[in-house]
Amino acid sequence: MKSPDSSGEQEIYSEFLEQEKVSNDGMELYFTFGIIADVQYADKADSYNFTRTRKRYYRQSLHLLQSAIEEWNKEAKVPSFVLQLGDVIDGINVQLQASDVSLQRVLNEVGKSKAAFHHVWGNHEFYNFSRNYLTSSQLNSKHLEDQQDSVSKTRHKCVSDDSDSEEYYAYHFCPFESFRFLMVDCYDLSIIGRKPSSKKYQDSMKILKEKNPNTDLNSPEGLLENQFVQFNGGFSKEQLEWVNGVLTFSDENHEKVVIFGHLPIHPDSTDTVCLAWNYAEMLSLLQSHTCAVCYIAGHDHDGGYCLDSHGIHHITLQGIIETPSGRHAFGTVQVYEGSMILKGRGSVSNRVMHYRKQ
Ligand SMILES: [Zn+2]
């Protein structure tokens, strides 16, 4: 893929800043980070989705990941890290018996990045791999969490080397003074990725069947709350309590927190069929902590955005897998004292995001 002409790009970007009536004169750029979602790579011919409305470009997705990394590596300020928002290889790899080889191809590309990748686990990770496998794989980026500060020492049942089947995969890190990034596990409650013998599987099946009477639990047909489908999941009480603890620490320490996970949590930022089961609980938790400034998700390939009633920005990033040849879908976020600026590529829009009042 051709990289954009940098002077032309700068011109467009300056125009954009002018249009938004934001001047970056005198604003100190603290750090930047990359965002990319739903690569869903497979070594397979392009084909349509289940409803035959959207084409998926399985092989090209690897090249788009590659070119995104090349562009990040060339940026004047190389991103401090990249958020890979989940579904990095497609579930079709199971049928192709190519889960390991496809993951390795993706990881070979990731290995060329100057910036460390934080890997979120989405439904397609769980179609391909068990939680135990993921925990010991290179898709477990928990080693990048903060080891130093006191909030990290708060005990929680998070995924670790001696993982048991009830743990969740979530952690946080502080890349710059007063800024924290918090990964949440949207498939903590789920019937994919959990062993059928586990309590969380059984509890999740009960919730799903109560909300979804369809024979095919992946079908949202006729549902009042159409997020209750098998390809979504939710947050356990213990994870919500742990998030509450981290955000309380951040409130007290006047930090700004960006939360990220695979599933969107605001109905105005996505097609509601892509929401986390108990999105409302996570949403009200974030709204009750003034440190929470932004939530970033993938999963809905069309993408979306909203600014909620409490001033939290909700970004649902467009999926690489449905991005046709000649287009792209990733972004770099520049972080300043008073705002973050999303510099989108291809179908991802540029956006200025001021922080909510603390
Ligand atoms: Zn997904």
Quote the pLDDT of residue 80.
Answer: 98
Q: Tell me the residues surrounding ligand 1 (ion) with CB < 5 Å.
A: 87, 122-123, 299
Quote the pLDDT of residue 180.
Answer: 97
Is 275 a residue whose pLDDT tops 80?
yes
Q: Give me ligand 1 centre to Cα 184, in Å.
A: 14
123-146: per-residue pLDDT in tens?
Answer: 999 999 999 999 999 999 999 998
Is 12 a residue whose pLDDT tops 80?
no
* pLDDT mean across residues, the chain: 90
Is 35 a residue whose pLDDT tops 80?
yes
> What are the residues facing 89 on neighbouring strands?
41
Pairing of strands 171-176, 179-183: antiparallel
Q: Give me ligand 1 centre to Cα 299, in Å.
A: 4
Q: Give me ligand 1 centre to Cα 38, in Å.
A: 7
Q: Give me ligand 1 centre to Cα 122, in Å.
A: 5
Q: Give me ligand 1 centre to Cα 285, in Å.
A: 23
Is 10 a residue whose pLDDT tops 70?
no
Q: Give me ligand 1 centre to Cα 126, in Å.
A: 10
Is 212 a residue whose pLDDT tops 60?
yes
Predicted confidence band at 105 (pLDDT cuts at 50, 70, 90)? Answer: very high
Quote the pLDDT of residue 134.
Answer: 96
Count of beta carbons in the 10 Å neighbourhood of residue 203: 14
Contact 186, 263 (CB under 8 A): yes
Quote the pLDDT of residue 123.
Answer: 98
Percent of the chain's residues with pLDDT above 70: 87
Q: Give me ligand 1 centre to Cα 1, in Å.
A: 25
Predicted confidence band at 358 (pLDDT cuts at 50, 70, 90)? Answer: confident
236-269: per-residue pLDDT in tens?
Answer: 999 999 999 999 999 999 999 999 999 999 999 9
Q: Give me ligand 1 centre to Cα 86, in Å.
A: 7
Is 153 a residue whose pLDDT tops 60?
no
Quote the pLDDT of residue 164.
Answer: 47
Q: Give me ligand 1 centre to Cα 257, in Å.
A: 23
